[in-house]
C-alpha cells in the first residue's frame, strides 16, 4: 500500500516537472527557415537581419539554412516526402504553384489576418505568382530580372564602344568578340526557361498561348526555330560558350576572368564579383532589343509557410518583418531588389548605381508559365534545347516534339 502511494507521488512530481518544461518550452519558439541565399547574401542575412528580428521577438530563434540553390528544389521534395518540412522557405516563384497544388502550403490570404495590408504594399507583378486556386499561398520577398552584363575590357580590345542595343548587334558583337584569343562572345548557364526565354521573347517568340492551354503553334513557331538555329551556329563557331551545355567555365567566372564577353545575369552577381574578384567592375545594360522588344524574365522569391509548421503565428511575424521597408532596403544592399512599391521612389533606389537598369528591364519582363507542372515543362524545354545544341535534332523537330509534350502537361 505504501508503495503504491509512493509511486503515485513520484508520478505526480514527474508530471508537474514535465508540465513546467512544457510551459517553458511553449514560450520558446524555433523557426526553421530555408533560404537559398548565396554566401554573400547569407552573411548579410545572418549578421544583420536575423539579429534584428530576434531582438524584436525575443522568444523566437530563427534557424536559417542556406541551401545550395541547385539542390534546393530536390531538398524540398524529399522533405515533403519525409514529413520533415521546415516552417518557412524562400521559394523560387516558379515552384509555388506546384507546392500549392500539392497541398503543403498555408494559404496566407486565408490565415494571415493582415494579408490585405501586405498584398497592397507589393508590386502586383510580384504578387501574382503566389496565386493558386483562389488563394494566395505566399508573399513576394525579393524580385529580380536578368540584364546584359558586358565585359568592358574585352569590348575595348575588340574595338566595340558599348553594349549592343539591338538583337542584330548582339549577334554581331558576339562574333567580333569571339575573334579574340580564348574568348567566347556570349555565354549562358543552361538551357532551361530561365536561360532561354529572355532570348526567345526578345526575338518575338512565345512558349504558350496567353491562356496557357497549348504550346503547339507557339513554342515551335518560326521565330523560336530561328533563334535555336542561331544558337547552334554560334556554338559551332565559337561565339557561344560551352557553359550552356554545362561544361567549361561557369558564366560568372568566365565573365569576370575575361573569357566571356557577354552574359545575362541578375543583380546579386555584383556583390559576388566584388567578393571574389577584387579589381573587376561589372557593366550592365538592358537586353538587346529584337522583334519582341527587350524582354527579360521575371525572377524572384516568395516566402511561403508549410502546413506542417507548428509555429504559424511566429512564421507570419517573420514574413511581416521581412516585408518592412528597412529590411527590404537592407537586403537590397546585397542585390536583393525590394518588392515594396513605394520603395522604388526611395532615395536609396533612385541613387543606386545599377538598380535603375533592373527596374527598367522589369517594366517589360515576363513571368515563366505559372502552372503546377512548370518544373516538368521546364525540363522538357531544356532537354529540347540541349538536344538541338548537341545537334541530335533540328530545331524544328525538337520544338515540335517538346510542344506536343507540353500540350499534354498543360491539360
Partner 1 sequence: MKKQSFWSRTLIYLLLLGGALLSTIPFLFMLSTSFKEHSYVFELPPRFIPENPTLSNYIQAWTWNNFELYFTNSFVVSLVTTLIVLIVASMLAFAFARFRFWGKNILYYLILSSLMVPSMMLIIPQFILAKNLRLLNSLPGLVFVYVAMNVAVSTFLLRGFFESLPRELEDATRMDGGGFFTIFFRIVLPLSKPSLATVTVFTFLFGWDEFVWALTAINQQSRLTLPVAIHSFHGAHQTQWGLVFAASMFAIAPVLIAFVLLQRHFIQGLTSGAIKG
Partner 2 sequence: MDGGYYRSKQVIAFLVPALVFFLAFNTYPLIEAFRMSFYNWNIVRPENSQFVGLANYMKAFSDPIFWTSMKNTVLYALVTVPAQMALGLLVAMFLNFNLPGTKVFRTIYYLPVISSWVVVSLLFRYLFNGEAGLVNYILVDLLQIFPSYVSWFRNASTALFVIMLLGIWKGVGWSMVIFLAGLQGIPTELREASMIDGASSGQHFWQVVLPILRPTMGFVAIMLVIGGFNVFTSVFLVTGGGPLHRTEVLLTYMYYQGFERLNFGYGAALSYILGIIIFVISVIQLRLFQKPVEM
* Contacts with partner 2, residue ranges (CB under 8 A): 74, 77-78, 80-81, 102-104, 242, 245-249, 383, 386-387, 390
Sheet holding 139-145, edge to edge: 60-66, 29-35, 88-92, 298-305, 139-145
C-alpha R_g of the chain: 25
Binding mask 184-203 for partner 1 (x = CB under 8 A): -----x--------------
Determine the 3-state secondary structure of 261 from DSSP. strand
Q: Which does 32 bind (CB under 5 to 8 A by kind): partner 1, partner 2, none?
A: partner 1
> Looking at residue 384, what DSSP letter applies?
H
Positions in 215-254 near partner 1 (CB under 8 A): 246, 249-250, 252-253
Q: Helices (DSSP H) in 267-354: which residue ranges?
A: 268-276, 312-322, 325-332, 347-350
Give the separation between CA 19 and CA 27, rounded to whole angstroms. 13
Nearer to partner 2, 155 or 260 (CB): 260
Give the separation between CA 41 and CA 90, rounded to whole angstroms. 13
- Quote the least distance from Cβ 57 to partner 1, whole Å: 21
Q: Which does 386 bind (CB under 5 to 8 A by kind): partner 2, partner 1, none?
A: partner 2
Q: Which does 256 bind (CB under 5 to 8 A by kind): partner 2, partner 1, none?
A: partner 1
- Quote the least distance from Cβ 104 to partner 2, whole Å: 7
Per CB under 8 A, does 256 bind partner 1? yes
Per CB under 8 A, does 307 bind partner 1? no
**Given its phi and psi angles, is residue 247 left (phi above 0), alpha (psi -120 to 50 degrees) or beta?**
beta
Q: Which does 207 bind (CB under 5 to 8 A by kind): partner 2, partner 1, none?
A: none
Nearer to partner 1, 310 or 363 (CB): 310
Per CB under 8 A, does 70 bind partner 1? yes
Nearer to partner 2, 77 or 409 (CB): 77
Q: Helices (DSSP H) in 203-299: which residue ranges?
A: 222-237, 251-256, 268-276
Closest CA to 377 of 264, 212, 217, 221: 212
Look up residue 368 and give its three cell numbers: 515563366
Per CB under 8 A, does 277 bind partner 1? yes
- Give the length of the chain: 411
Under 8 Å between Cβ of 241 and 186: yes
Nearer to partner 1, 205 or 254 (CB): 254
Q: Which residues contact partner 1 by CB under 8 A?
A: 32, 39, 63, 65-71, 75, 78-79, 81-84, 86, 189, 246, 249-250, 252-253, 256-257, 276-277
Amino acid at each position: 500500500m505504501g508503495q503504491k502511494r509512493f509511486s503515485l507521488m513520484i508520478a505526480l512530481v514527474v508530471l508537474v516537472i514535465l508540465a513546467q518544461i512544457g510551459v517553458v518550452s511553449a514560450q520558446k519558439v524555433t523557426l526553421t527557415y530555408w533560404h537559398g541565399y548565396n554566401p554573400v547574401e547569407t552573411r548579410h542575412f545572418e549578421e544583420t537581419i536575423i539579429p534584428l528580428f530576434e531582438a524584436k521577438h525575443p522568444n523566437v530563434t530563427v534557424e536559417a539554412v542556406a541551401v545550395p540553390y541547385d539542390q534546393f528544389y530536390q531538398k524540398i521534395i524529399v522533405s515533403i516526402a519525409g514529413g520533415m518540412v521546415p516552417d518557412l522557405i524562400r521559394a523560387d516563384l516558379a515552384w509555388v504553384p506546384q507546392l500549392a497544388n500539392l497541398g503543403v502550403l498555408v494559404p496566407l490570404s486565408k490565415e494571415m489576418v493582415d494579408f490585405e495590408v501586405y498584398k497592397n504594399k507589393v508590386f502586383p507583378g510580384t504578387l501574382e505568382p503566389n496565386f493558386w486556386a483562389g488563394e494566395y499561398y505566399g508573399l513576394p520577398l525579393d524580385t529580380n530580372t536578368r540584364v546584359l552584363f558586358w565585359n568592358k575590357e574585352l569590348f575595348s580590345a575588340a574595338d566595340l564602344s558599348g553594349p549592343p542595343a539591338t538583337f542584330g548587334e548582339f549577334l554581331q558583337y558576339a562574333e567580333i568578340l569571339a575573334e579574340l584569343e580564348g574568348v567566347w562572345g556570349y555565354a549562358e548557364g543552361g538551357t532551361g526557361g530561365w536561360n532561354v526565354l529572355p532570348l526567345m521573347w526578345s526575338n518575338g517568340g512565345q512558349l504558350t498561348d496567353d491562356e496557357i492551354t497549348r504550346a503547339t503553334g507557339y513554342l515551335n513557331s518560326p521565330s523560336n526555330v530561328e533563334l535555336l538555329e542561331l544558337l547552334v551556329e554560334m556554338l559551332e563557331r565559337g561565339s557561344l560558350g560551352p557553359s550552356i551545355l554545362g561544361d567549361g567555365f561557369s558564366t560568372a567566372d568566365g565573365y569576370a576572368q575575361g573569357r566571356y564577353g557577354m552574359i545575362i545575369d541578375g543583380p546579386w552577381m555584383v556583390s559576388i564579383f566584388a567578393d571574389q574578384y577584387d579589381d573587376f567592375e561589372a557593366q550592365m545594360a538592358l537586353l538587346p532589343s529584337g522583334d519582341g522588344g527587350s524582354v527579360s524574365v521575371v525572377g524572384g522569391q516568395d516566402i511561403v509557410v508549410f502546413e506542417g509548421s507548428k509555429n504559424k503565428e511566429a512564421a507570419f511575424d517573420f514574413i511581416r518583418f521581412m516585408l518592412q521597408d528597412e529590411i527590404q532596403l537592407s537586403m537590397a544592399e546585397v542585390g536583393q531588389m525590394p518588392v515594396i512599391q513605394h520603395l522604388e521612389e526611395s532615395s536609396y533606389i533612385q541613387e543606386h548605381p545599377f538598380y535603375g537598369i533592373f527596374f527598367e528591364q522589369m517594366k517589360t519582363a515576363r513571368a515563366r508559365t505559372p502552372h503546377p507542372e512548370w518544373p516538368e515543362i521546364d525540363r522538357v524545354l531544356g532537354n529540347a534545347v540541349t538536344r538541338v545544341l548537341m545537334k541530335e535534332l533540328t530545331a524544328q523537330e525538337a520544338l515540335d516534339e517538346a510542344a506536343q509534350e507540353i500540350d499534354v502537361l498543360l491539360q
